[in-house]
């Protein structure tokens, strides 16, 4: 397997993030404007009640072979696993929590692929130097270079990924946030942020 020089990648990421900031629109989106990453659903549950974040020996540069689960899984109501909300009869939207720019997507996943995250979207939050990672998507509606604001639809919740597609896999969104520190993406626990934005979503009556 081909190996890459991690230090060179870190320098590249740091350089690219600086260039993006130069061309990004002046409008910044702050954390109080973040939204829950799903919309148009009846109800959701959280793996281990939201205590599924495990850092372990995670290394961003190991990709699908990395250890740990520095993220959160949000399951929709889909007992028959047809990717549709059992109560609404509709697909569930995955939306961008933050503002930012789409810098990476993958829509090539097919059953049998070893790509653990399946179809995914990565968005760079210019305001806070954060990367948001949304995976196991059924469909992706954005492209690299697209500028998004909080709440913009980026895909549908799905079951793509080498384990999620298995019979016991649940239809869910896997979401992670990483903070760039001198170009190195380090995972950040966002349980409180997820639950706070979910409360805001329900208080606004958007699930009705």
Q: What tens digit of pLDDT does each residue of 11-57 get?
A: 777 788 888 888 888 888 999 999 999 999 999 999 999 999 998 77
- Of residues 126, 182, 188, 131, the one with CA closest to residue 10: 182
Is residue 74 in some structural domain?
Answer: yes
Whether the predicted pLDDT of 194 surpasses 90: yes
Would residue 156 count as lying in a domain?
A: yes
- 201 or 64, which is more confident: 201
Q: Which tens digit of pLDDT belongs to each residue from 68-127?
A: 788 999 999 999 999 999 999 999 999 999 999 998 999 998 887 777 889 999 999 999
Tokens standing for 170?
């649940």
Band (pLDDT 50/70/90 cuts) for residue 176 is: very high
Q: Is residue 52 part of a domain?
A: yes
Give a yes or no: residue 1 inside a domain.
no
> What DSSP string describes 47-111?
GGGG---B-TT--GGGGGG--SB-SEEEEES-TT-SSS-TTT-SPPEEE-SS-EEEEEEE----T
Contacts of 186 (CB under 8 A, 6+ apart): 60, 178, 179, 180
Supply the pLDDT for residue 115.
Answer: 78
Within a domain: 208: no
Please report whether residue 133 resides in a domain. Answer: yes
* CATH number of the domain that residue 133 is part of: 2.70.70.10
Domain count, the chain: 1
| Domain span at 55 | 6-203
Q: Is residue 177 a part of any domain in this protein? A: yes
Residue 92 lies in a domain: yes
**What pLDDT, on a 0 to 100 scale, did the predictor assign at position 63?**
65
Instruction: Answer with the residue of higher pLDDT: 181 or 148.
Output: 148
């Amino acid at each position: 397997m081909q190996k890459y020089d991690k230090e060179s990648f870190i320098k590249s990421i740091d350089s690219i993030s600086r260039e993006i900031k130069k061309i990004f629109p002046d409008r910044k989106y702050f954390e109080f404007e973040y939204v829950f990453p799903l919309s148009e659903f009846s109800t959701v549950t959280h793996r281990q009640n939201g205590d599924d974040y495990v850092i372990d020996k995670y290394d961003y540069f190991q990709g699908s072979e990395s250890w740990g689960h520095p993220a959160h899984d949000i399951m929709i109501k889909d007992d028959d696993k047809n990717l549709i909300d059992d109560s609404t009869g509709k697909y569930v939207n995955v939306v961008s929590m933050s503002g930012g720019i789409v810098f990476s997507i993958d829509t090539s996943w097919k059953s049998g692929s070893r790509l653990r995250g399946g179809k995914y979207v990565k968005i760079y939050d210019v305001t806070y130097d954060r990367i948001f990672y949304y995976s196991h998507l059924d469909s992706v509606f954005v492209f690299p270079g697209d500028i998004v604001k909080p709440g913009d639809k980026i895909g549908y919740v799905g079951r793509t990924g080498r384990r999620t597609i298995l019979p016991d896999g649940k239809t869910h969104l896997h979401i992670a946030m990483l903070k760039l520190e001198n170009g190195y993406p380090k995972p950040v626990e966002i349980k409180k942020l997820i639950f706070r934005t979910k409360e805001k979503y329900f208080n606004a009556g958007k699930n009705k």
